């Protein structure tokens, strides 16, 4: 993931639109859009805002390793595909989430 993609994933995981997320971290929506598309690099202040507000692991955020692991949603050793899974899961209705949990339990018990 690029730095811009990581910033976008932080925003999406926390269910913010660009306008609200940019206000939360103290930048304009236009600047956020350019950061998410890797047009520019974030300022130190923006990086520190991401760390303090969203508890982002700076090593993960600033590393250019594509399969870097994270803590929690950024702190508990998640691979990029696991982060994608969480992002998709959070978009589901509560009913669909419960169905997915049941499917996972069935798969675990069938092995």
Bridge partners, 74 (sequence order): 71
29, 15, 48, 28 alpha-carbon torsion, rounded to 10°:
10
CATH code, residues 3-110: 1.10.260.40
Distance of CA 83 to the CA centre of its chain: 7
Beta bridge partners of 59: none
Number of Cβ within 10 Å of residue 90's Cβ equals 13
pLDDT recorded at residue 77 = 53
- Report mean pLDDT in 10-residue bins for the chain, 111 residues: 93 94 97 97 95 89 62 53 83 92 89 64
Within 13 A of 32's CA, how many CA atoms are on the CB side? 22
Q: What is the pTM of this model?
A: 0.60
pLDDT of residue 65: 58
- 71: helix, strand or coil: strand
Structure tokens at 41: 């690099």
Tokens (6 digits) for 65: 């390793």
């Amino acid at each position: 993931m690029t730095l811009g993609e990581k910033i976008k994933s932080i925003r999406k995981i926390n269910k913010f639109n660009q306008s609200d997320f940019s206000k939360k971290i103290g930048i304009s929506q236009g600047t956020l859009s350019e950061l998410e598309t890797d047009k520019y690099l974030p300022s130190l202040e923006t990086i520190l805002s991401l760390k303090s507000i969203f508890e982002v692991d700076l090593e993960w955020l600033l590393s250019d390793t594509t399969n870097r692991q994270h803590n929690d949603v950024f702190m508990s050793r998640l691979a990029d595909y696991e982060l994608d899974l969480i992002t998709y899961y959070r978009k589901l209705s509560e009913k669909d989430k419960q169905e997915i949990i049941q499917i996972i339990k069935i798969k675990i018990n069938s092995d």
